[in-house]
């Protein structure tokens, strides 16, 4: 490993792993991932300090195979890419779960070429640039398409599909390197929301079998207890909705309901146990991504209109008034879906995805990381 790369990672450990706006970024950047990683959709994306990480996804170069465990990192300070080594890492797999704690990225379960589900757990140390297989626990049922959520120093595993349709949930303590299995919820659930809030995990919606759910749960990983979240007429049953949390509240938007795409949402306050309606935005946008922008609000970008055309306009929700406004972000990439959207070091990032034009044509899978300073967002 290069010395300058090691020094850069050491600086990340010294400052913090949280993303803090430096206020000094003036121009947007567009960067292509290395050829070894390729163009991709549906990646898992993470940030740590000045480092961006992408893991897995569907690549057209592999005949749209979902079996992909490749990883890549970009150093915003030194402007260099690093392709993750594969030694001791997971075999190519799809529908796995991933989460980040500090500089470590964890991968659980999924399915390999044999189509059998796994209960393996791997960790990638982004400082040492190496994989470690933590192994299996017989009490944790192997599964695909589960949610894996970081809460403090633990990983909370929930839902997913298993081979025999049995299920449980559990937590992995990263300090003791041990699993604890809980049997208090045994239904299979996929395409649900899972957000860490106030040392708990908020679960809502998704599929139970073939039925879309409007039920929510609050998981208490310290004790294994589950609390039922009161239903609300403000939010009907849906799957694949988007959600972000701000510490005590969860913002839920979009998804697919029994009667088609949804464009509205709701906010749930975990401490007050109250629901508040989020109105639909003016466009009929589906399959978008969203993230919280400090001091600006909830940003929705990407996706398609119901006529399958792509648009580059974004929507910004004021968290106090819950009023939407449409914004045009200078130098934003082409409209797309199946991309990553988040924030890093005072910038909005967009990575990968399937892009197209305003007619819905000229489809292209991307390998680009676009960085846009917060100051460029109107």
Better-predicted residue by pLDDT, 357 or 288: 288
Distance (Å, whole) CA 21 – CA 282: 30
Distance (Å, whole) CA 224 – CA 203: 14
Please tell me the predicted confidence (pLDDT) of residue 113. Answer: 83
pLDDT at 229 over 90: yes
Q: What is the pTM of this model?
A: 0.90
209 burial level (CB within 10 Å; 0-12, 13-18, 19+): exposed
Average per-residue pLDDT in the chain?
90
pLDDT at 226 over 60: yes
Distance (Å, whole) CA 162 – CA 149: 19
Reported confidence tier of residue 8, pLDDT bands at 50, 70, 90: very low
pLDDT at 2 over 80: no
pLDDT at 99 over 70: yes
Are residues 236 and 257 in contact, defined by beta-carbon separation less than 8 angstroms? yes
Better-predicted residue by pLDDT, 185 or 88: 88
Looking at residues 347-363, what average pLDDT do you find? 89
> Domain-by-domain residue ranges, the chain?
1-82+281-378
Residue range 356-367, pLDDT digits in tens: 877 878 889 999
Looking at residues 161-186, what average pLDDT do you find? 90
- Picking from 53, 168, 60, the residue whose alpha carbon sits closest to that of residue 109 is 168
- Which three-class secondary structure state does DSSP give residue 266? strand
Between the CA of residue 213 and those of 8, 224, 267, what are the distances in Å? 45, 22, 17
Distance (Å, whole) CA 339 – CA 331: 17
Distance (Å, whole) CA 311 – CA 281: 14
Distance (Å, whole) CA 278 – CA 323: 8
Reported confidence tier of residue 14, pLDDT bands at 50, 70, 90: very low
Q: How many residues does the chain have?
A: 378
pLDDT at 24 over 90: no
Residue range 80-97, pLDDT digits in tens: 999 999 999 999 999 999
Please tell me the predicted confidence (pLDDT) of residue 369. Answer: 98
């Amino acid at each position: 490993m290069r010395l300058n790369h090691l020094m850069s990672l050491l600086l990340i450990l010294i400052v913090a792993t949280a993303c803090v706006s430096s206020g000094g970024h003036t121009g947007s950047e567009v960067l292509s991932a290395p050829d070894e990683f390729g163009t991709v959709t549906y990646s898992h994306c993470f940030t740590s300090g000045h480092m961006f990480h992408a893991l897995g996804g569907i690549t057209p170069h592999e005949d749209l195979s979902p079996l992909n465990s490749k990883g890549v990192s970009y150093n915003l300070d030194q402007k260099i890419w690093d392709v993750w080594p594969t030694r001791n890492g997971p075999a190519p797999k799809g529908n796995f779960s991933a989460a980040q704690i500090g500089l470590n990225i964890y991968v659980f379960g999924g399915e390999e070429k044999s189509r059998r589900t796994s209960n393996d757990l791997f960790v990638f140390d982004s400082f040492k640039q190496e994989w470690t297989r933590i192994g299996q626990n017989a009490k944790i049922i192997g599964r695909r398409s589960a949610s894996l959520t970081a809460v403090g120093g633990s990983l909370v595993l929930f839902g997913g599909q298993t081979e025999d349709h049995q299920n449980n949930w559990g937590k992995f303590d990263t300090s003791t390197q041990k699993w604890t299995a809980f049997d208090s919820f045994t239904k299979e659930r996929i395409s649900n929301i899972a957000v860490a809030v106030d040392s708990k995990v908020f679960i809502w919606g998704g599929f139970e079998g073939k039925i879309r759910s409007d039920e929510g749960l609050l998981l208490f990983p310290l004790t294994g207890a589950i609390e039922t979240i009161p239903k609300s007429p403000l939010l009907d049953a849906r799957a694949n909705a988007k959600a972000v949390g701000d510490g005590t509240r969860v913002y839920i938007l979009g998804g697919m309901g029994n009667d088609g795409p949804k464009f509205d949402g709701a906010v749930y306050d975990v401490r007050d146990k109250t629901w508040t309606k989020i109105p639909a935005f003016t466009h009929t946008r589906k399959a978008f991504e969203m993230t919280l922008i400090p001091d600006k609000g909830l940003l929705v970008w990407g996706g398609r209109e119901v006529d399958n055309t792509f648009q580059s306009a974004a929507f910004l929700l004021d968290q106090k008034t819950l009023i939407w406004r449409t914004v045009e972000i200078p130098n934003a990439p082409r409209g797309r879906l199946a991309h990553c959207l988040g924030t890093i070091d005072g910038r909005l990032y967009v990575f990968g995805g399937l892009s197209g034009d305003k007619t819905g044509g000229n489809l292209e899978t991307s390998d680009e990381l676009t960085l846009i300073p917060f100051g460029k967002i109107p």
